[in-house]
Structure 1
Amino acid sequence: MMSSPAADGRIRPIDPADAGEVLTLQRAAFVQEALIYDAVDMPPLTQTLEELEAELVGNLGLVAVDDGRIVGAVRARVDGDLLLVGRIAIAPDQQGSGIGSALLAAVEARGRDAGAGTAELFTGSLSEANLRLYEREGYRESERVPHDDGTFQVFLRKPLG
């Protein structure tokens, strides 16, 4: 039986050298989102390796590793008092195992240490599993931005104090 990286503390800072594996993970994780929204051109699926490598320089994000394999990733950066959390991606075969919650808690701690007082993230209004996770982890809806297709981009915030 495999143990969870979250339980074993195998979460480490993300590094530009992780870009290839993180991009593969991101694409696998966001396929379900693309199906929900009928949108194969969403940014997590179209981002290039070069764009991701550049994004990872100085990023506060983290990866969860299980037996040498990156099974989860989150990116984050501080903007003023805000920790902007993005692109949480969990390997499809690992979803529901607590990795997302562990990555969120760890990246929130990094944000606090970097001076952020509030974390913010967003997801789509049809992404029910994401919304449940974020609400369970203490995030509360702060804004809804409408899209032309009738869906919304839902922004959620959480105090880090």
Structure 2
Amino acid sequence: MGMSVTISAASAQDAEQILKLQYLCYQSEAELYGDYSIEPLTQTLDDLRAELDRGHALVARLGGEVVASVRGEVDATGTAHIAKLIVHPRMRRHGLGGRLLDAIEQHFADGGAPHAKRFQLFTGHRSERNLSLYRKKGYEAVATRQVGPRLTLITLEKAA
């Protein structure tokens, strides 16, 4: 009998597993853009812990293993900045990323303090799977910013 994936708030004890998963998940993005110095691959455990303390993070677990995660925080304007939606490569294409995105939006729209008026996230211009998921979930491109010769970031947003 298989185990089911559960989604819950991340705790400080999850930081190490999240960082290892983040490193694994962003290898494909680094390869896609030819840049292994991207922030998700260079973030330290201390930086991640500080990020978790500032905002809210969710993890998806399969048994005791963290197999997916997302985090975000709401700024003074009511914008929930959603970041680092990651899913273990073996767990992709099963709807887990969409479930996590829905769950963090729900947290910030209903129970989170401060309350979100809009959701915003970004991804690279070549990250078609990410762009497809975000558009399917109602996000629309609101800005682009070239950050290097091979990478343009697309900012997407939707109302809460």
SS at match of 2:56: coil
| CA spacing shift, 1:136–1:34, aligned 2, 3 Å | same
What is the CA-CA distance between 1:3 and the residue it aligns to?
5.2
Aligned to 1:78: 74
Aligned to 1:145: 145
The C-alpha deviation readout for 1:14-55, integer Å capped at 9, x for no partner, is 122111000010011100000000011100001011111111
Q: Give the unaligned 5+ runs of structure 1.
A: none
Give TM-score, length-normalised by structure 2. Answer: 0.93
Aligned to 1:60: 56
CA-based RMSD of the aligned residues comes to 1.3
| CA spacing shift, 1:13–1:148, aligned 2, 3 Å | same
Residue 134 of structure 1 aligns to which amino acid in structure 2?
Answer: Y
User: Which among 27, 30, 36 is matched to residue 26 of structure 2?
Assistant: 30
SS at match of 1:97: coil
Residue 138 of structure 2 aligns to which amino acid in structure 1?
Answer: G
What is the CA-CA distance between 1:59 and the residue it aligns to?
2.1
Aligned to 2:99: 102
1:19 correspondence with 2:6 = no
| In structure 1, C-alpha distance between the alignment counterparts of 2:3 and 2:140, rounded to whole Å | 31
| In structure 2, C-alpha distance between the alignment counterparts of 1:23 and 1:158, rounded to whole Å | 28
Number of residue pairs the alignment of both structures matches: 156
What is the CA-CA distance between 1:4 and the residue it aligns to?
4.9
Aligned-residue identity in percent: 34
| CA spacing shift, 1:4–1:154, aligned 2, 3 Å | farther
